[in-house]
């Protein structure tokens, strides 16, 4: 009964993406199901996706931005990331135009970074994720980004980043793994598989997912309080929920290092079967993403999908 009440509440969402994911990934409906087809078609015509796309210019970038990265979180990079999370049609010419703009604009900076630099893997991981969503997985430029991300996971200091005082970065590792999880098997080299293993070991074996005792400068850095909250959406950041989402995509939820985090997530379920979450950047991103209840729905959807994949949701 609790599961039925949860799915009924999710299916009442005004955001069609939520309805689509609930039907497909919680209720297991096939892609040919009439309600699934209706929800998927509605993604492009109602809710946040058409609002975000309406602000794109003919060049592929978003209107009134200072750069593709600013202002956070409505400029081109972030809008493409959100459209991917919302499961916008990756073949839509507008979405692909935005991805092409980003690839054309950013790749030279990646090439200038050199073999030993692994900064901003959160940025490049997000870019790879939406480029793959657009169907560009076999594009040479996208493969170049993938090689950079693989190399960043293979460093002794995993995803080492200047913004973490040149220590290994858990946010960067999580975003990198999330990106590589989206790569089709045909586009994954043996090095990619090995790098994924190293990234998972960094997050779950070398350190502790709940304690978040990842490397940082003890005099200047500390665990972000957001890490142990339930958040939606996040952008370059990560939290326990996001790491578990990534592990689910990588089919690593059975890893011993993930079990305490799964216990933690299950314990945060309310008596009505839902989870409550926060949207820390709500005022800085697209208002069309919805109100507090939509945030609770997104967090509940992700939590339920994770626990279902882990065999913990009845």
CA atoms within 13 A on the CB side of 91: 0
The reported pLDDT for the residue numbered 222 is 85
> What element of type H or E holds 299?
helix 292-309
The reported pLDDT for the residue numbered 281 is 98
Is there a contact between 293 and 56 (Cβ–Cβ < 8 Å)?
A: no
The reported pLDDT for the residue numbered 135 is 98
| Nearest alpha-carbon partner for 163 in 205, 123, 204 | 123
The reported pLDDT for the residue numbered 53 is 98
The reported pLDDT for the residue numbered 72 is 98
Rounded (5°) CA angle 196-200-201: 115
Tokens of 14: 């005004």
Is there a contact between 273 and 314 (Cβ–Cβ < 8 Å)?
A: no
Rounded (5°) CA angle 209-279-125: 55
Give 10-residue mean pLDDT values along the chain (314 residues): 95 98 97 98 98 98 98 98 98 98 95 82 98 97 96 96 96 98 95 98 98 94 93 98 98 98 98 97 98 98 98 90
**Cβ-based neighbours of 159, under 8 Å, separated by 6 or more:** 118, 121, 152, 153, 168, 169, 172, 173, 176, 199
Tokens of 136: 């560009």
The reported pLDDT for the residue numbered 113 is 76
d(CA 245, CA 107): 28
The reported pLDDT for the residue numbered 1 is 80
What's 165's DSSP letter?
T
Residue 251 has a CB neighbour count (10 Å cut-off) of 10
């Amino acid at each position: 009964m609790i599961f039925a009440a949860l799915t009924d509440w999710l299916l009442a969402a005004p955001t069609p993406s939520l309805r689509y994911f609930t039907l497909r990934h919680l209720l297991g409906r096939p892609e040919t199901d009439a309600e699934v087809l209706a929800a998927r078609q509605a993604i492009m015509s109602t809710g946040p996706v058409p609002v975000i796309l309406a602000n794109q210019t003919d060049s592929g970038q978003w209107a009134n931005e200072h750069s593709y990265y600013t202002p956070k979180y409505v400029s081109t990079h972030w809008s493409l990331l959100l459209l991917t999370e919302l499961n916008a049609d990756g073949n839509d010419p507008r979405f692909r135009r935005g991805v092409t703009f980003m690839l054309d604009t950013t790749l030279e900076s990646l090439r200038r970074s050199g073999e030993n630099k692994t900064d901003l893997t959160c940025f490049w991981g997000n870019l790879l994720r939406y480029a793959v969503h657009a169907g560009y997985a076999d594009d040479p430029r996208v493969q170049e980004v993938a090689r950079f991300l693989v190399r960043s996971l293979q460093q002794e200091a995993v995803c080492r980043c200047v913004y973490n005082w040149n220590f290994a970065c858990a946010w960067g590792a999580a975003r990198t793994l999330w990106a590589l999880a989206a790569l089709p098997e045909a586009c994954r080299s043996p090095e990619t598989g090995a790098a994924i293993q190293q990234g998972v070991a960094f997050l779950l074996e070398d350190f502790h997912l709940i304690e978040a005792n990842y490397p940082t400068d003890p005099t200047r850095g500390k665990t972000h309080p957001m890490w142990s909250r339930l958040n939606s959406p996040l952008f370059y950041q990560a939290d326990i929920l996001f790491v578990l989402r990534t592990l689910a995509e990588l089919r690593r939820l059975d890893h011993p290092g993930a079990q305490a985090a799964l216990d933690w997530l299950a314990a945060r379920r309310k008596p009505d079967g839902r989870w409550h979450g926060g949207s820390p950047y709500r005022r800085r991103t697209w208002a069309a993403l919805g109100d507090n209840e939509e945030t609770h729905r997104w967090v509940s959807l992700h939590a339920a999908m994770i626990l279902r994949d882990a065999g913990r949701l009845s």
